Amino acid sequence: MRDVTVLGIASEIFPLIKTGGLADVAGALPVALADEGVRVTTLVPGYPSVLAGLAGVESLRHFTELFGGPARILRGRAGGLDLLAIDAPHLYARPGSPYIGPDGRDWPDNAQRFAALGAVAASLAVGEGNGVAPDIVHAHDWQAGLALAYLHHHARRPGTVFTAHNLAFQGNYPPSLMAELGLPASDFAIDGVEFYGNLSFLKAGLFYADRITTVSPTYAAEIRTPQGGMGFDGLLRTRAALLSGILNGIDETVWNPATDPHIAARFSTARPGRRSINKEALQSRLGLATTPGALLFGVISRITWQKGLDLLLANLPGLLGLGAQLALLGSGEPGLEDAIAEAAAAHPGQVAAVIGYDEALAHQIQAGVDALLIPSRFEPCGLTQLCGLRYGALPVVARVGGLADTVIDANEAALAAGTGSGVQFAPVTQEMLAVAIQRTASLWREPATWRRLQRNAMRTDVSWRRPAARYVALYRALITERAH
C-alpha cells in the first residue's frame, strides 16, 4: 500500500514556536504518522523563531504580493519535521507571541496574517507553482480554517480534514473583510463562513472540511450540545457523521522520566523511588518547605476562567489546612495572575507561583509533584494530565472532555479492581473540587494505595500510536471515497 502524503497547516509547532498544546500536537503527530506510512509536510508562518530554526533551507516559491507585501515559501527541516514556512516579514516578523502584540491585544491584522496561511496552503495543495499536491490537507484550528474555504472553490483538490482543538477560539472578524481576504460574497452565508453576523475562520473549517476531528471522544459529544458547542452545536449535529473524536498523545521522547534531561533524578516504573529526589529539588527551587511527607500539588496551566483556577484559589485555605503545598506555573488573565501571586506571597513555604512559561520547570513540576490539579470547566483533550500520568503525578481532574477519557477515577470499585490512575470530580464547582482535594489527601495517607495508583498511571498508554492509527484510517477512507 503506497504512502499517504499530507499537507498539515498549523499556526505553531514544537519545537520552533509554542503557546500551548496545538504546537505539541502539530510537532508530534507527523512523527507518529511516519511510522504508519504517512508523510506529512507542515506549513507554518515564518515567525523569527521558525526561520531561525530551519535547516537545509531552499526557496520553493515566491509571491509578489501576499496581503500587503511579498513573500517566499521556504522548505526546510527542524526537529525531524518536514516544514514549509511563509517568509513574509510584513506579516510575521514580530517579537513575542504569534497572536498578541506588546499591548496585550490581538495583532490588528491577524485576519490577514492567518488568511495568508490559508491562501498559501490552498495554492500549494492544488499544485500551483511548485506546489506539493498532497493526498490530504489537514488543517489545525481556526488559524488554518480559511484554507478549506479557499480550497472549496477548486474543482480538483485534495481531501480535507479539519481538527478543532478548542471551539472557544474562533477567529471571528467583520464581514467587510470578505473581499480583501479573497472570499466571494456568496460565501458569507449560513452555508459558508457566516457566524452570527461575522466572518468566522473556525466556521470555514467546520463547514467546508470533508472530515472533522476533535481531540477526544467526550469533547466530540460535548460540542454537539448547546452547553459545549460555543454556538456551533447545530452545525456539528448536522455534520455528526463526519465528526470523530481522536485523543491526542504526547511525544514520549520529549516526555520520558527515564531520560528527561531537565529533572534532578531520572526514574521509571522499575525505579519509582528516585522520584522523591525530584520532589525535594522542586521544593528547594521554588522555596517550598522541603517536607517529604507534605502532599505537593502542582498546576501547569494557562491562568484562565476556562481552566478553573478561580475555583482553586477559593479552595486554597482548605488545601493548605490539610498540610499540603502548591506549585504553580502559568500565565493568562491579569486578575487571576495577581491573585495567585498574592496567595504565594501570603503563604511562603507552602505556595509557590511562577508567572510565565518555562519548559524545563514544566518537566520538573511533572517529575516532582505528587498530584496535578486540573479543574477545567471544559477541556477538549488536555496534554498536561497525559504528561502527569507518564511521570506519576496523579491527575486530579474535572470530569470533562479529554480529562474524562484519559484518567480512571480511583473510586471504591477501581481500588478493589486494582485500577485507577487519578481522581475525577463533577460537576465543576468549588465544592466538588474541595471533595476531590480531600479524596486525594486521603489516598496520600495510604502509601501502598498511592504507589499502586502511581504505577497504574505510569503504565497508561499516552503515546501517539493508537491515535496515529486512527488518523491513518481516516485519511485512507477519505482518499478511497474521493476516488469513486
Residue-wise pLDDT tens digits, 242-297: 999 999 999 999 999 999 999 999 999 988 889 999 999 999 999 999 998 999 99
Residue 1 has pLDDT above 70, yes or no: no
Residue 354 shares a structural domain with residue 338: yes
Q: What is the mean pLDDT of the chain?
A: 96
Which helix (H) or strand (E) element contains residue 308? none
What is the rounded CA–CA span in Å between residue 457 and residue 460?
5
pLDDT of residue 271: 87
pLDDT of residue 421: 98
List, as own/partner pairs, every contact residues 70-73 make where C-beta atoms lie below 8 angstroms and the sequence separation is at least 24, other chains included. Answer: 71/116, 71/120, 73/120, 73/124, 73/130
Given a contact cutoff of 8 angstroms between Cβ atoms, the answer to whether 40 and 80 are in contact is: no
| Assigned domain for 265 exists | no
Cis peptide leading into 427, omega within 30 of 0?
Answer: yes
Residue 32 shares a structural domain with residue 163: yes
pLDDT band at 129 (very low <50, low <70, confident <90, very high): confident
Residue 194 shares a structural domain with residue 50: yes
Residue 440 shares a structural domain with residue 331: yes
Our measurement of the distance from residue 301's CA atom to the centroid of its chain's CA atoms, rounded to an integer in Å, reads 11
Residue 231 shares a structural domain with residue 304: no
| Assigned domain for 266 exists | no
Residue 171 has pLDDT above 80, yes or no: yes
Residue 193 has pLDDT above 70, yes or no: yes
Given a contact cutoff of 8 angstroms between Cβ atoms, the answer to whether 395 and 297 are in contact is: no
Calculate what percentage of the chain has a pLDDT beyond 90.
94
* More reliable by pLDDT, 132 or 88: 88
Mean pLDDT of 347-356: 97
Residue 412 shares a structural domain with residue 281: yes
Residue 231 shares a structural domain with residue 164: yes
Q: Which of 58, 73, 69, 182 is nearest to 128 (CA)?
A: 73
Residue 446 shares a structural domain with residue 472: no
Residue 2 has pLDDT above 80, yes or no: no
pLDDT of residue 292: 85
Query: Domain tally for the chain?
Result: 2
Residue 431 shares a structural domain with residue 354: yes
Q: Which of 366, 387, 351, 371 is nearest to 441 (CA)?
A: 371
Residue 312 shares a structural domain with residue 363: yes
Residue 277 shares a structural domain with residue 241: no
Strand order, beta sheet including 325-332 = 351-355, 325-332, 296-303, 371-374, 394-398, 423-425
Q: Where residue 395 sits, what CATH number does that domain have?
A: 3.40.50.2000
Whole-structure pTM value: 0.94
pLDDT of residue 204: 98
Mean pLDDT of 96-121: 95
| Assigned domain for 263 exists | no
pLDDT of residue 440: 98
Question: Of the ranges 1-5, 152-156, 272-276, 353-357, which one carries the lowest mean pLDDT score?
Answer: 1-5
| Assigned domain for 444 exists | yes
Residue 130 has pLDDT above 80, yes or no: no
Mean pLDDT of 218-233: 98
Residue 60 shares a structural domain with residue 99: yes
pLDDT of residue 99: 97
Q: Could you tell me the residue range of the domain that residue 305 belongs to?
A: 272-459
Mean pLDDT of 381-405: 98
pLDDT band at 177 (very low <50, low <70, confident <90, very high): very high
